[in-house]
Amino acid sequence: MALGFPDIDPVAVSIGPFDIRWYALAYLAGFLLGWKLVVYLSGLDGERRAIRIADLDDFLPWAVIGVILGGRIGYILFYQFDAYMHDPLAMLRIWEGGMSFHGGAAGMILAMVAYAAIRRIHVLRLTDLICCAVPIGLFWGRLANFINGELFGRVTTVPWGMVFPHGGPDPRHPSQLYEAGLEGAVLLLAMIVLAHRSAIRNMPGILSAVFLSGYAFSRISVEFFREPDEQIGYIAGIFTMGQILCLPMLVGAVLLVVYAMKHKSKGAAHEPA
């Protein structure tokens, strides 16, 4: 016995010929709520605020561009390179779907490094704040994946298995909800709790490392329940592309911890913003 897939229209609102999809609203909610959280967390040190609110406000367009461009380019390179080489104009048809979290993360990192250099902001102070907000976008994004009936899980016999519209007749793991819970809600709670500890905030890089490792372990775990991408399948007969792309995140987390521990006694909490 399997649970029925909820009949939710992927289109949230239609205005004339234009459709506003839940997936687009998920991105909007992620950016706006994430920005609110970042501004709040930046004020935990009171007058010793490491980054001015004006600088955080001005970074929002950079974040949007970094995520969208990086996510699209990453999807093309990691998941559908051959297909897009045969139809290059399809790269521009973003409304048809096709975004990669790892590509979006790379785009965001480049945006943060460039912005921090231009504004003379401590880059790890910026990444720590932004990483606290990313799980919000992940939570809403995975819920949107669920509504779209995409990125579903492998065939299962668990009581909560669902028959997805495009997943054949067998019940499957609702892996989108697993990811929304782990990558989104659980990781967000952990980041907020840690961000409220001044000892953690005063070691730039630690919060970024927690996010990178937390996301990587969550994604690697859920990938064992998620159906691999049809055009790629399993790598070495065991791993998925998502799991492979998480490995550099784990390496980056270790390097950030080493850096943070090495510099924690050198006044890292008092760099000018």
- Dump the DSSP string for the chain: --EEPP---SEEEEETTEEEEHHHHHHHHHHHHHHHHHHHHHTTTGGG-SS-HHHHHHHHHHHHHHHHHHHHHHHHHHT-HHHHHH-GGGGG-GGG----HHHHHHHHHHHHHHHHHHHT--HHHHHHHHHHHHHHHHHHHHHHHHHHT-S-B-B--STT-EE-TTS-SS-B--HHHHHIIIIIIIHHHHHHHHHT-HHHHTSTTHHHHHHHHHHHHHHHHHTTTBPPPTTT--BTTTB-HHHHHHHHHHHHHHHHHHHHHHHTTTTGGG---
- CA 77 to chain CA centroid, nearest Å: 18
pLDDT at residue number 263: 82
What pLDDT is attached to residue 156?
Answer: 96
Per-residue pLDDT reduced to its tens digit, 97-153: 678 899 999 999 999 999 999 999 999 999 999 999 999 999 999 999 999 999 999
Q: State the pLDDT at residue 268.
A: 43
Q: How confident is the model at residue 273 (pLDDT cuts 50, 70, 90)?
A: very low
Q: What is the pLDDT of residues 27-61, one digit of tens each?
A: 999 999 999 999 999 999 876 788 999 999 999 99
Residue 8 placed within a domain: no
* Selected residue with higher pLDDT from 165 and 17: 165
Identify the band that residue 83 occupies on the pLDDT scale cut at 50, 70 and 90: confident
At 94, the pLDDT band (50, 70, 90 cuts) reads low
The number of CA neighbours under 13 Å toward the Cβ of 146 is 21
Identify whether 238 is part of a domain.
yes
Question: Containing domain of residue 153, as a range?
Answer: 19-270
Structural domain includes residue 2? no
Residue 1, in any domain of the structure? no
What is the model's pTM?
A: 0.89
Question: Is 4 domain-assigned?
Answer: no
Residue of 7, 262, 236 lying closest to 124 (CA atoms): 262
The pLDDT score that the predictor gives to residue 270 is: 42
Residue 54 lies in a domain: yes
> Does position 271 have pLDDT exceeding 50, yes or no?
no
Can you give the pLDDT at residue 132? Answer: 97
Residue 210 vs residue 1, higher pLDDT:
210
The verdict on residue 242 lying in a domain is yes
The tally of domains found in the chain comes to 1
**Which residues participate in the annotated binding site?**
142
Asked whether residue 5 is domain-assigned, the answer is: no
Question: What is the pLDDT, as a whole number, of residue 96?
Answer: 60
Q: Is a pLDDT exceeding 90 seen at residue 267? A: no
Tell me the per-residue pLDDT of 173-231, one tens digit each, with 9 for 90 and over: 999 999 999 999 999 999 999 999 999 999 999 999 999 999 999 999 999 999 998 87
Chain centre distance of CA 179: 10
CA distance 188 to 140: 12
